[in-house]
Amino acid sequence: MFKKILEDSKREVSGKNAKEYVSEIMRFHRIQVTEGYNKAASLCKKIFEENGVETEILEYDSDGKKMYLGFLSPEGWSIKKGVLKIDGKEHANFEKENISIIQRSIPFKGEVDLIYAEKEEDFKKGCLVFTHDFKKGKDFARNYECLGIVTDENRSKFDAPDSLQYLSFWGERLFGFVISPREGEKLEKELKKGKKKAYVDIESSLFPSKIKIVSAKIEGEKDEEIILISHLCHPKPGGNDNASGAGLSLEIARVLKKFKKPKRSIRILLVPEIHGTAAFISQNNDFLCGLNLDMVGENQFLCNSPLLIEKTPDATPFFGNYLLQEILEEVKKEVSNFQNTFKYPLFMYFVTPFSGGSDHWILSDPTIGIPTPMLIHWPDKFYHTSFDTIDKVDEKELKRVGVIAATYLYFIANMGKKEAEWMAGIVTQRAKQRILESPDIDYTVDAGKKNLDSIKRIENADVESLKKEIEDLANFEKKKIKIKEKKIKKGIVPKRKFMGPIDLSKTLLEMPLNEKKKFNETMEKYKDFKGTSDLAVFWADGKRDIYEISKNVKNEIGKVNTDFLIWYFEFLEKHNLIDIKR
């Protein structure tokens, strides 16, 4: 059904072009709401326009006070200089390595005492503190009135001990520097012998500014629109995260513009991650569906990084998850065995449930209701470090993802009755398969029916007889198993207070240290269930009680801890982020 589009996309999408766009974007230090980001946005607008794609730059106030949905807008930040010297020797210099300063550092100039802090008691007022733990370190530094921090925190410390990790303050009034794990090891040894004199010179400022969003449009015949989104922000180099997503979006737009005008329009958004999407969506949310491209160019072998299709949450059912899988099945046919009896891929891939953490988190929230799967690579050895450079970006991988994305977008943009019916058949087949494997048949039937209904968002299709087919199979299967009647107890009923996901940043920033420590301890205790809180929030419609929500999360990802969810919802209630009916 999509073969022709797939062939056209394979012919037109150029990995080489995409990689050139990626490297052009990588010239800029693209921290949210900064000059570097704005320059990258202007460059992207220029490229879209050179390729004949109508583009505008949208602006939204961003001052550290204004909220968009549940998200606090960041202040603008500029930096001219950022130097750290220890005993006269340079250890960090923003000009040479943009990532060597903790982003959004406040200005400071002068000589200070540098001490090593292993635990909370070691943080001393008026000092610069070296700590391995950035997250706790910044909280202690704030609480004990330290001037700033130096850290070698690094998630790739074993794979890349000379890399620097991307770290940022979000509202904490501190300054800081990032050094490599190898340098950190040496510095720890020296500071254990006694404090050192450090010289700091940072020229920076924080000020009210504007979030800028690049909004390009492939015009369709109808008014309806589909979104392709990717975040343009992040520090230099930020090759795979996420110059790759933005650069590939430029290439996809170039290709789609050459195709016959689609029925529906395709809106391409390049945003500062999360904050830009929240600002945009708070003012326009009339879209059919979307696709998020985040970290899409990985050289899989260098980065040890598989391609993932991340589905929408079950609370926002969407046939597009299956469409992506069908396209992937075709793209996988890369090479043949000896006598050409079978075709298979030369890359790693996986289809995963919703996990969030990028712009599709906002779009796919049921209170926003724009079902948006994501294409991403995860994990990635070099993610958020100074080693996320152009040599980790692979033009073949950009092309694979570009072909999948372009086929998905153009297929949905042109979906008519015939395509909708084909899609309904696929969804039904998948639902039946799930029923045979599912421990909770009712949940699966419901999900299957909602997936069928999601087709009608795009094109009217008769799905009622297919729903009946799903129900019939379910009834037949249910007769085979004895269903244990569980004692029905009624639990708390959480209800969303506002549109969009619940972001804890502002709450945690304003929280006293002791309370925050308790929060962190509880989160640590339930760390295996971390991702379940966002999924649970999606189900909190004011009708389902905690046991039903918990059961749904279990059905969705195979694990849940109801005690954790109860604690989490009560925490949200206490901080005025959700209502609870008892």
Number of residues that bind Zn ion (CB under 5 A): 3
- Number of other residues whose CB lies within 10 A of the CB of residue 110: 9
Q: Of 164-172, 233-241, 429-437, 562-570, which segment contacts Zn ion by CB under 5 A?
A: 233-241
Report the C-alpha gap between 130 and 468 in whole angstroms: 64
Q: Which is nearer to Zn ion, 183 or 298 (CB)?
A: 298
**Residue among 242 and 355 whose Cβ is closer to Zn ion:** 242
Distances in Å between the Cα of 99 and the Cα atoms of 104, 148, 358, 577 are 11, 16, 21, 34
Tell me which stretch binds Zn ion (CB under 5 A): 32-40, 71-79, 190-198, 239-247: 239-247
Which lies closer to Zn ion via its Cβ, residue 209 or residue 242?
242
Nearer to Zn ion, 15 or 238 (CB): 238
Tell me how far, at minimum, the Cβ of 392 lies from Zn ion, in Å. 14
Distances (CA, A) of 165 to 77, 114, 242, 322, 388: 19, 21, 15, 36, 10
Instruction: Supply the minimum distance, in Å, between the C-beta of residue 203 and Zn ion.
Output: 28
Give CA–CA dist 302/378, Å, rounded.
13
The crossing angle, in degrees rounded to 10, of helices 532-539 and 562-574 is 70
- Tokens (6 digits) for 393: 């970006």
Residue 399 to residue 401: CA distance in whole angstroms: 5
Helix then strand then coil, % of the chain, to nearest 5: 40, 20, 35
Minimum gap (Å) between residue 25 Cβ and Zn ion: 13
Rounded least distance, CB 261 to Zn ion, Å? 32
Q: Which residue, 234 or 467, has its beta carbon nearer to Zn ion?
A: 234
- What CA–CA distance (Å, rounded) separates 353 from 340? 33
Scan for tokens 């300054």, then name that residue. 175
Q: CA-based diameter of the chain, in Å?
A: 79
In the region spanning residues 506 to 525, those forming contacts with Zn ion, defined by CB under 5 A, are none
Closest separation in Å from C-beta 20 to Zn ion? 20
> Are the CB atoms for 382 and 392 separated by under 8 Å?
yes
Using the minimum distance from each CB to Zn ion, give the nearer residue, 229 or 415.
Answer: 229
CB of 295 to Zn ion, least distance (A): 6
Q: Does residue 501 have a cis bond before it (omega within 30 degrees)?
A: no
- Provide the minimum distance between the beta carbon of 358 and Zn ion in the complex, in angstroms, as a whole number: 6
Nearer to Zn ion, 243 or 580 (CB): 243
Minimum gap (Å) between residue 233 Cβ and Zn ion = 8
**Residue 237 vs 366, nearer CB to Zn ion:** 237
Binding letters toward Zn ion, positions 349-388, x by CB under 5 A: ----------------------------------------
Nearer to Zn ion, 232 or 447 (CB): 232
Nearest approach in angstroms of CB 38 to Zn ion is: 19
The residue among 404, 418, 499 whose CA lies nearest residue 458 is 418
What is the Rg, in whole angstroms, of the alpha carbon atoms belonging to the chain?
25
Binding mask 53-72 for Zn ion (x = CB under 5 A): --------------------
Binding residues for Zn ion restricted to 240-299, rule: CB under 5 A: 241-242, 294
Q: What is the DSSP secondary structure assignment for residue 319, as one 8-state letter? A: T
Q: Which stretch binds Zn ion (CB under 5 A): 194-202, 237-245, 479-487, 494-502?
A: 237-245
- Specify the residue, 128 or 243, whose C-beta has the smaller distance to Zn ion: 243
* Smallest separation, CB 357 to Zn ion (Å): 8
Instruction: Show the 3-state SS of 1-24.
Output: CCHHHHHHHHHHCCHHHHHHHHHH
Which residues, other chains included, contact 299 with Cβ-Cβ below 8 Å and sequence gap of 6+?
391, 392, 393, 394, 397
Is the four-CA dihedral 483, 486, 490, 492 of positive or negative sign?
A: negative
- Contacts to Zn ion by CB under 5 A: 241-242, 294
